Amino acid sequence: MSVPDVIAIDGPSGAGKGTVARAVAKALDCRHVDTGAMYRAVAWRALQQGRALDDEQAVAAVASGAVLALDGPRVAIDGEDVSRAIRTPEMDVAASAVARLPRVRAALVARQRDLAGGGSIVMEGRDIGTIVFPDAPVKIFLDASPAARAARRAQDPAHRQPRGARLADVARALDARDRRDRTRRASPLEQAPDAVRIDTTELAIDAVVAQVMAVIRDRRRTVSRS
Ligand code: DC
């Protein structure tokens, strides 16, 4: 079986994954999947159904059974457009809570694998290069200083912050969530040994995209020669 042509982009929140993944997908004219939106939508739907977020069986049933539609920035679950509703501080916490549950992860990882095949795909998340596609031909790990990540998150119009939130509050919430994502037992956020790490702290978005495109070109040249 051939290896799916996946460009895996992993890293913590605010490292620039979303913006970079979208730009790379545009440059390659290929699909882009934001797997974080899948965890967010599942958490949203479970809450809407009145489920406790630690009810692993109930949340896993949502993760495997719900109709998920991902179309660029638009996200719908079971026919309901949740594109905006899933990007709130409450949903940051809720998504991180369901992402700890192994059965929820297993269900979403299976769906993510199903999305590949049939052309190139840029997939962003926390475990794409380690768990979802350990054989991905291109793996990028984006990181940035905590201060830079908090500043970006605070300025991101897609993410609503609580009224009057200060940068220090955003930084604290981001740090707590990343600690949970890095220390959970099931597929913690970590860099794959063969991923190319790019520190985006001092880089403009175009420069990051250029570096990622250079990695892709390089890998493709190597593959076509072998
Ligand atoms: O990227 P994001 O902030 O939208 O992700 C939401 C949550 O889901 C975050 O706590 C990390 C988690 N997540 C994950 O565990 N694995 C992924 N592949 C993507 C996101």
| pLDDT tens for each residue of 73-129 | 899 999 999 999 999 989 999 999 999 999 999 999 999 999 997 789 999 999 999
Closest CA to 96 of 157, 40, 142: 40
| Whole-number Cα distances in Å, 204 to 80, 102, 120, 131 | 35, 36, 25, 29
Closest CA to 211 of 159, 162, 157, 140: 140
DSSP character for 134?
T
Mean pLDDT, the chain, integer? 92
List of residues 6+ apart from 46 with CB closer than 8 A: 53, 55, 58, 59, 62, 98
| Best residue among 82, 126, 132, 183 to mutate for probing ligand 1, ranked by most atoms within 8 Å of CB | 126
How much is the pLDDT for 28? Answer: 95
DSSP character for 132?
I
Q: From the CA of 202, how far away is ligand 1's center (Å)?
A: 24
Q: Is 94 in the pocket of ligand 1 (CB under 6 A)?
A: no
Residue located nearest, by CA, to atom 11 of ligand 1: 96
Q: Residue 7: helix, strand or coil by DSSP?
A: strand
Rounded to the nearest 10 degrees, how much is the dihedral formed by the CA atoms of 191, 195, 200, 204? -150
Residue located nearest, by CA, to atom 6 of ligand 1: 36
Q: From the CA of 217, how far away is ligand 1's center (Å)?
A: 27
Q: From the CA of 128, how far away is ligand 1's center (Å)?
A: 11
Residue located nearest, by CA, to atom 13 of ligand 1: 36
pTM: 0.94
For the chain, what are the domain ranges?
6-225
Ordered strands of the 196-199 beta sheet? 31-34, 121-125, 6-10, 138-143, 196-199
Q: Is 126 in the pocket of ligand 1 (CB under 6 A)?
A: yes
- Fold topology of 6-225: Rossmann fold (3.40.50)
How much is the pLDDT for 169? Answer: 87
How much is the pLDDT for 1? Answer: 47
DSSP character for 186?
S
Residues 119-171: tens digit of each pLDDT: 899 999 999 999 999 999 999 999 999 999 999 888 877 777 777 778 888 88
**3-state DSSP percent of the chain in helix, strand and coil, to 5:** 50, 15, 35
Q: Is 14 in the pocket of ligand 1 (CB under 6 A)?
A: no
Ordered strands of the 80-81 beta sheet? 68-71, 74-77, 80-81
